[in-house]
Amino acid sequence: MKAVDILIKNANEIVTLNGPNRPRKMKEMNELSIIENGSVAIDNGAIVDVGKNLTYNSDKIINAKGKIVLPGFVDPHTHVVFAGSREFELDMKLKGLSYMDILKSGGGIFYTVEKTRNATKDQLIQQAKNRLDKMLRYGTTTCEAKSGYGLDTKTELKILEVNKKLNESHPIDILSTFLGAHAIPKGKSADEYTNEIIEEMIPKISHLSKFCDVFCEEGIFTVDQSKKILEAGKTHGLIPKIHADEIVDTGGASLAADIGAISADHLLMSSDDGLRKMAEKGVIGVLLPGTPFSLMQELYAPARKIIDMGVAVALATDLNPNCWVENMQFMIQLGCLKMKMTPSEAITAATFNAACAIDLSDRIGSVEVGKQADILVLDCPNHKHIPYHFGVNLVEKIIKNGVVL
Ligand SMILES: [Zn+2]
């Protein structure tokens, strides 16, 4: 018998998500390719065999009887590096104050920008590490992380350098996105700041990022400004992403399709036309149900419609000081209970399609031979328990890169 580093056996379900290496859409999102009573063999950090009744020798055998095995969760939209916290805003939100009211009274994004500008690299690393530790405990093995709480070249660079340090030192793999266009800093016009991003920031930060993102929203960056920024990012090798149509339909979904973005995120207000274009061009829709939840909003992204129109959907936390959540299991729960996704769709959205949204589906997102061994054992009898049994952490074991943590 061949020896392997780790053998997981007797799992009630191995949720493999075996299938073509492209974003799963429509009916494909319901196809989890489950192996019942299955095993997974892991060697040298990679998955080497998946099936029923595998026979290997191993010093490390994990008996997953009564449990399920899943690919590690991928969180494709976070703002994990920031300083300070804004729990004081909750009282204001409960009194019915709007985001704009909170902003005017000294809260909101500029509060976080101030704290982040004043924080040292070490302070940012310490605070973000704490969040990453929680993400990992809840099963996230890879995430995307945006800059955007600097709004000046120096601080944006500092955040992206922190991302790099964390990626090197933390078990979670972290992919960086430059989001200098997160808000317009005080004292500058949108056009002035757009030029600064294009002429000064992007050339200086592009070596630290894989993606370039823009907050395309009424009163922040127009479609035209967003387009200029994303085009400039592209000429420096950055793949476009967009915060699109969260509050108002400004045409962000259409822009994502026109510019060849890998994903458009939020999509609460997107037009049918924009969504249709996204489906045609294969732009992934990243839905962030934690945001309306934390804003106590009734309105969530219309996931049912978005999926039925043929857009491949992923889920993410949007972890940020206004939506502080590290837990992708909770996103699956909100996906089902608030957005009417099926359990299978929500699991696909939190694993394989999420990997597609950060261009890593060739390496992660499924339990298939040859892939990086990022694997979870969940203490529940079948995958439908993930949206059903909420408020607890179902993750029992985390294997990252073939190492049991
Ligand atoms: Zn965001």
Q: What is the CATH number of the domain that holds 121?
A: 3.20.20.140
What is the per-residue pLDDT for 112? 97
Question: What is the 8-class DSSP label of residue 21?
Answer: S
For the stretch 214-265, pLDDT in tens is 999 998 999 999 999 999 999 999 999 999 999 899 999 999 999 999 999 9
Count up the domains in the chain and report the number.
Answer: 2
Six-digit token string for 277: 């274009």
224 CA distance to ligand 1 middle (Å):
20
∠ Cα 390 396 398 (to 5°): 120
307 is in which domain, residue-wise?
74-357
Q: Are residues 337 and 386 in the same domain?
A: no
Q: Using alpha carbons, list the distances in angstroms from residue 13 to 346, 380, 388.
A: 17, 10, 16
For tokens 């804004």, name the residue: 86
Q: Are residues 78 and 209 in the same domain?
A: yes
Q: Are residues 181 and 220 in the same domain?
A: yes
Q: Are residues 174 and 283 in the same domain?
A: yes
Q: Report the SS3 class of residue 379.
A: coil
Q: Are residues 350 and 399 in the same domain?
A: no
Q: Are residues 108 and 59 in the same domain?
A: no
For the stretch 329-381, pLDDT in tens is 999 999 999 999 999 999 999 999 999 999 999 999 999 999 999 999 999 99
- DSSP line for 318-371: --BTTB----HHHHHHHHHHTT---HHHHHHHHTHHHHHHTT-TTTSSS--TTS
326 CA distance to ligand 1 middle (Å):
13
Q: Are residues 279 and 376 in the same domain?
A: no
322 CA distance to ligand 1 middle (Å):
10
135 CA distance to ligand 1 middle (Å):
17
320 CA distance to ligand 1 middle (Å):
7
- DSSP line for 85-105: --TTHHHHHHTT--HHHHHHT
313-315 β-sheet, strand order: 73-75, 140-146, 173-181, 211-216, 239-244, 263-266, 284-287, 313-315
257 CA distance to ligand 1 middle (Å):
19
Instruction: Return the H-helix or E-strand segment holding 204.
Output: helix 202-205
What is the per-residue pLDDT for 101? 83
78 CA distance to ligand 1 middle (Å):
6
351 CA distance to ligand 1 middle (Å):
19
Q: Are residues 196 and 317 in the same domain?
A: yes
Q: Where are any strands of DSSP class E within 217-335?
A: 239-244, 263-266, 284-287, 313-315
145 CA distance to ligand 1 middle (Å):
10
43 CA distance to ligand 1 middle (Å):
36
243 CA distance to ligand 1 middle (Å):
7
Q: Are residues 33 and 56 in the same domain?
A: yes
What is the per-residue pLDDT for 53? 85
What is the per-residue pLDDT for 239? 98
- Asked if residue 299 lies in contact with residue 268, where contact means CB atoms within 8 angstroms, the answer is yes
Query: What CATH code is carried by the domain that includes residue 394?
Result: 2.30.40.10
What is the per-residue pLDDT for 64? 98
321 CA distance to ligand 1 middle (Å):
10
Amino acid at 119: A
Q: Are residues 40 and 136 in the same domain?
A: no
**Distance (Å, rounded) from C-alpha 331 to C-alpha 247?**
20
For tokens 């009887």, name the residue: 65
Residue 36 — very low, low, confident or very high, per pLDDT cuts 50/70/90? very high
What is the per-residue pLDDT for 99? 76
Q: Note the pTM of the prediction, 2 decimals.
A: 0.97
Q: What percent of the chain has pLDDT over 70?
A: 100
Q: Are residues 203 and 286 in the same domain?
A: yes
Q: Are residues 235 and 114 in the same domain?
A: yes
